[in-house]
Amino acid sequence: MKIQRLENYIEGRFILSETTSYRDVIDPATNHAISRVPLSLLSEVDSAVQIASRAFKEWRRVPVTNRVGYLFKLRNLLEQNIDDLARTITKECGKTYSESRAELERGLESIAEACGTPSLIQGYNNEDIAGDIDEHLFRQPLGVVAAITPFNFPGMIPLWFLPYAIACGNCFVLKPSERVPMTSSRLFELLHETGLPKGVAQLIHGDKQVVDALLDHPGIRAVSFVGSTPVAKYVYSRAAASGKRAQSNGGAKNAVVIMPDADFELTSKIVAESAFGCAGQRCLAASVAIAVGDAFPVFSEALADAASSRPVGYGLDDGVLMGPVISDQSKARIESLIEQGVAAGAELLVDGRGKKVQGYEDGHFVSPTVLLGGSPMAEAVRTEFFGPVLSLFRARSIREAIEQVNSSAFGNMASIFTQSGAAARQFRYQAEAGNIGVNIGVAAPMAPFPFSGWKESFFGDLHAQGRHAIEFYTETKVVVERWPTASN
C-alpha cells in the first residue's frame, strides 16, 4: 500500500515540499508507518514567512468582526468533522477515541473564546486627561507569529494559538510535531474550506532545522511553544535573542495531595484517570501522589486496584481506557526511569512493564505503574516520566505535603483532595503551581482563563488562552491628542 506524503500549506494551497528528506509517521499501537512527513527546506520556511508578511498588510485592515467570522466557520466545520479528526489523532498519537474527541472539544472552546476578540481586544481612553488633551490606548497586531506544537495534543494545542493570533489581525505559521502531523494537515484542510484569505495561515512541516529557522527569522515577531523543559528553555532563549516575544510551556511533575477526609473511592478513580489517562502523556498528568496521615493505607490500596484493572489496548477498540505511549524510545525511557526508581529504594506497588496487548504485540505499550516511596531526591521522582507512572508518598501533615509539592523544580499543576475548606484554602494559597485543583485531578483551565504554568514549567510572561492570548498577540499603542477648543 502506498503511504501518503504530507504537504505544506502555503499561500492558500497544499504544496509538496521540494525536500528529499522524509520521516515516517508511526502508529504507536501497531508500530507501522501510516504516512510520511517532509523535513522542509529552509528556503520553504523563508517563503512561508515572506508570503505571510505580505498577507499581513491587508489582513490587519480587515475589521475584527469580519476576522472572527472565519473562526465561526471553522468551529462549525470542526464540529461536523470531529469523528474523523478524533480517529486521526488516535491513529497517530495512540490515545483512545474518547480522549481524542475530548481534546477536540477543548479546542472548540478555544475557538469560541477567540470569537469574542471584538470585545477582548478593546482598548481604553480618557477624555480631557489634561487641558484640551485626550488619550487613547489601542491594541494592534504584531505581524507574523509562529507556533511550535507537541505530539501529545495534536488537535487541541494548535487551537490554543491559531484562533487568537488571526483574530487579533496577525498572520500565523504552524510547525506541528513531526510525530503527529496528520491532524494539523486535516485542520488546515478545514481551515481552507472557510475561505480564509491566502497567506493568513501557513503550515510548514519539519524538524529542529525548521524550528531554528522560525526562531531566527526576522519576519517572525512572536513564538508560542509547548514541549519539554529543556527545549522550552532553548526556544525561549533563542527567540528572545532574536528580539521576539515568546511563550514557552515546559514540562511538569504534578503532585496531588490526599487528605484523610477525602472520598477515597472517588479520589482513587480521579487520580488514576489523571495519572494514566492519555497514557500519562499530558502536561497536567498527576505524577506524584502524597497521602497525608491515615489516608495512606486506604488510598494506596484503592489506587493499586484502579491502576492494575485499567484496560490497555488500541484506542479505537471498545472498552479500552489507555493506549500506547508515542514511541519505542519513549517506552524505553519510561521503563528505565522505573528501574532507577526501584534502585533508589521505591517499591513496585503495580508494575506495568513488559505487558503485551493481544493483536498489537509490536505496539509501544506501558501499563499503569505505581512506585511506592523511595528517595525523594531520586531521578525518578524529580524527572518527568511523560508516561503512565505515579510515585506514591506519605506525609504526616498538610504542611509537610505542601513542602513536598513545593520542592519540585516544576510548577504546572498541584491538586488537593479534601472535604475541608480550610485545608483547601491553605493549599491553594501556599502551593507553588500556576494551576491549582481542589478535588480535581486535571486542573486544566477553561478557555477564558490562562494556562498558568510556573517555575520550570513556563518561560515568558503571558500564557496561552483567554485575555493573556489577546495581550500576547497584540502590542499597545498610546495616542495623545490635543484639539484646542474652537473659538465661537
Annotated catalytic residues are: 283
Q: Are strands 8-10 and 347-350 parallel, antiparallel or unpaired?
A: unpaired
What is the enclosing helix (H) or strand (E) of 431?
Answer: none
Q: Residues 369, 373, 376, 379: what is their CA dihedral angle, to the nearest 10 degrees?
A: -40
10 Å CB burial of residue 102 (0-12, 13-18, 19+) is middle
The Cα–Cα gap between 461 and 61 comes to 28
For residue 317, the tally of other CB atoms under 10 A from its CB is 15
Dig out the grid coordinates for 225 from the structure.
511553544
Is residue 394 within 8 Å of residue 260, measured between CB atoms?
A: no
The Cα–Cα gap between 234 and 406 comes to 24
Count helices and strands (H / E) in the chain: 16, 22
Dig out the grid coordinates for 82 from the structure.
470531529
Q: Give the CB-side neighbour count of residue 364, counting CA atoms within 13 A.
A: 26
- DSSP code for 407: T
End-to-end CA distance of the chain: 85
Could you give the angle at which helices 421-430 and 398-406 cross, rounded to 10 degrees? 30
The Cα–Cα gap between 435 and 413 comes to 5
Q: Which of 422, 426, 377, 384 is nearest to 404 (CA)?
A: 377
Name residue 371's beta-bridge partners. Answer: 348, 391
**Max Cα separation, the chain?**
91
The Cα–Cα gap between 101 and 123 comes to 36
Residue at 299: amino acid letter: F
Is residue 135 within 8 Å of residue 125, measured between CB atoms?
A: yes
- The residues near 55 (Cβ < 8 Å, ≥ 6 apart) are 171, 197, 198, 199, 200
Q: Residues 405, 409, 413, 416: what is their CA dihedral angle, to the nearest 10 degrees?
A: 0
The Cα–Cα gap between 220 and 143 comes to 7
What is the CA 49 to chain-centroid distance, rounded?
A: 24
Q: Are strands 286-292 and 389-395 parallel, antiparallel or unpaired?
A: parallel
